[in-house]
Amino acid sequence: MKQMLLLPKISIHNANALSSPYTIGFPAMTAWFGAVHALQRRMNQTGNPELLFNSIGVVCHAITLHTHRGRGDYVHSIVGTGNPLDKNGERPSFIEEARCDLNVSLIVECENLPLDREALRASLSGHINAGWKVAGGDILAFSQPEFIAVDEIKALRSLMRRVMPGYALIERRDLMIDAMQNGADAIDALLDYLKVAYRSEIADDGTVEWTAKRKSGGWIVPIATGFHGVSEPGRAENQRDPDTPHRFAESLVTLGEFRMPYRILNLDEILWRSRYDAENHLYLIEQNHRSRSPLSPLPAGEG
């Protein structure tokens, strides 16, 4: 039996949409894990020291990316914020930051839940109201947390109905593995599943019919799922935490799929866990039932 915490319908404003050096859109899985881990630490410090959040599932109900494409434009442009004028009345330079507004539900697998669930629910709501950040965004509204025991298919169906309509993010690393085993490199394998191939056919009467097709069915997207260490742990000048070894890292990017919850037959299909692969220097967010073959990091350049 799995003890699940459902944080339903969280409305997030100005979340970080630049999930890696290559992807823009849905926040990285590391961002969701960071938010849930921060919530666990708050709960541990306020009367629930044994409570653990072991894995999470993310269901997206709505997303609005802050971009704009004018008439005749080929690409979208990021809608940035206007920084205050400096003392000379000029607009200071800034780094473009892609942002988005989201409405999501988080499904969290719990361990060591206290008996007093009402007190825990009130404490969770209080901490969320007290400035909990999710993917760098601010919480505008949320529904009350729920605790659900999932021990059979009937309970799973009940949980999935609670997060409809929406799209659960699952890992499709298997597509990348298959392509790379057939000789493709990481970038080619990724782009091959994301590109849309347009074909035209000329009928006997001279009319032209266009068709669009992708390599695989489903809503396939690129997702950032962790980091690859590119230096040995050590000290760096002006590092954020002087007591924790510093390490330069690059993003890990693979393929994911947004899938309607009613198609989920096993809860582990949507639950993500963290794992450290010391041999390959990988800090991973992955799903239990997927292959544990090492991810191939896409090179992020110097940094």
Distance CA 101, CA 17 (A): 9
Structure confidence by residue, pLDDT tens digits, 200-253: 888 888 888 888 888 888 899 999 999 999 989 888 888 888 888 889 999 999
pLDDT given for residue 289 in this prediction: 62
5: enclosing H helix or E strand:
strand 2-16
Looking at per-residue pLDDT, the higher value among 108 and 290 belongs to 108
Structure confidence by residue, pLDDT tens digits, 75-100: 878 887 767 777 888 877 777 788 99
pLDDT given for residue 293 in this prediction: 42
113 alpha carbon, distance to own chain's centre: 25
* Residues 214 and 172: beta-carbon distance below 8 Å: no
- Flag whether pLDDT at 291 surpasses 90: no
Query: What angle is formed at CA 231 by the lines to CA 226 and CA 234, rounded to 5 degrees?
Result: 105
Distance CA 105, CA 65 (A): 18
How much is the average pLDDT of 57-73? Answer: 89
Residue 241 identity = D
Tokens of 63: 């997303």
pTM as predicted: 0.84
Distance CA 98, CA 5 (A): 30
Burial 81-96 (b: 16+ CB within 10 A, else e): eeeeeeeeeeeeeeee
- Flag whether pLDDT at 265 surpasses 80: yes
* Residues 102 and 136: beta-carbon distance below 8 Å: no
* Residues 255 and 220: beta-carbon distance below 8 Å: yes
Q: How many CA atoms lie within 13 A of 193 on its CB side?
A: 27
Closest of 109, 16, 22, 20 to residue 58, by C-alpha: 109
Q: How many CA atoms lie within 13 A of 39 on its CB side?
A: 30
Distance CA 229, CA 295 (A): 13
Closest of 260, 250, 286 to residue 61, by C-alpha: 260
* Residues 254 and 171: beta-carbon distance below 8 Å: yes
pLDDT given for residue 2 in this prediction: 86
pLDDT given for residue 297 in this prediction: 47
pLDDT given for residue 290 in this prediction: 55
